[in-house]
């Protein structure tokens, strides 16, 4: 007989809390790590928004419906709605780059 998997939550970091402190990092290091990860998340969101703007701009410029755009981009129509409405949490950068390649747009990366 298989044992049951323990799925009970024992701790939850409150919104605005610092998960690194919860993991036992010293306060100063936890603050540094939190600041660093927040900056990385902000960068990712900025990149995704730029890619989504390009896709939404193509939809507008081509005067295509979301259904037509979905067919061309090989995704569902709700995914197109998510792009147009900047639901960045629902996409990876890779997925957005792939969509752009399907409409003939090349994405170039610049590291500063």
**pLDDT 10s digits, 16-32:** 678 898 888 999 999 99
| pLDDT at residue 31, as a whole number | 93
Indicate whether 45 belongs to any domain.
Answer: yes
Report CA 64 to chain centroid distance, whole Å.
25
Residues 6 or more apart whose CB falls under 8 angstroms from that of 70 comprise 76, 77, 79, 80
* DSSP designation for 9: -
- Looking at the domain assignment, is residue 1 inside a domain? no
Number of domains in the chain: 1
In a domain, 77, yes or no: yes
Q: Which domain holds residue 48?
A: 24-102
Enter the pTM of the model.
0.78
Burial class of residue 7 (count of CB atoms within 10 Å of its CB; 0-12, 13-18, 19+): exposed
Give a yes or no: residue 17 inside a domain.
no
Q: Please indicate, yes or no, if residue 79 is contained in any of the structural domains.
A: yes
Q: How confident is the model at residue 110 (pLDDT cuts 50, 70, 90)?
A: confident
Residue 86 lies in a domain: yes
């Amino acid at each position: 007989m298989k044992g049951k998997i323990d799925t009970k939550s024992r701790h939850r970091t409150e919104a605005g809390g610092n998960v690194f402190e919860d993991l036992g990092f010293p306060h100063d290091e936890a603050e540094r790590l939190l600041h660093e990860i927040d900056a990385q998340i902000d960068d990712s969101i900025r990149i995704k928004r730029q890619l989504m703007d390009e896709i939404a701009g193509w939809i507008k410029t081509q005067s295509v419906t979301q259904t037509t755009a979905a067919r061309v981009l090989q995704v569902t129509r709700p995914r197109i709605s998510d792009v147009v409405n900047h639901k960045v949490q629902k996409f990876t950068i890779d997925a957005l780059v792939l969509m752009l390649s399907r409409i003939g747009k090349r994405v170039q990366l610049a590291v500063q």
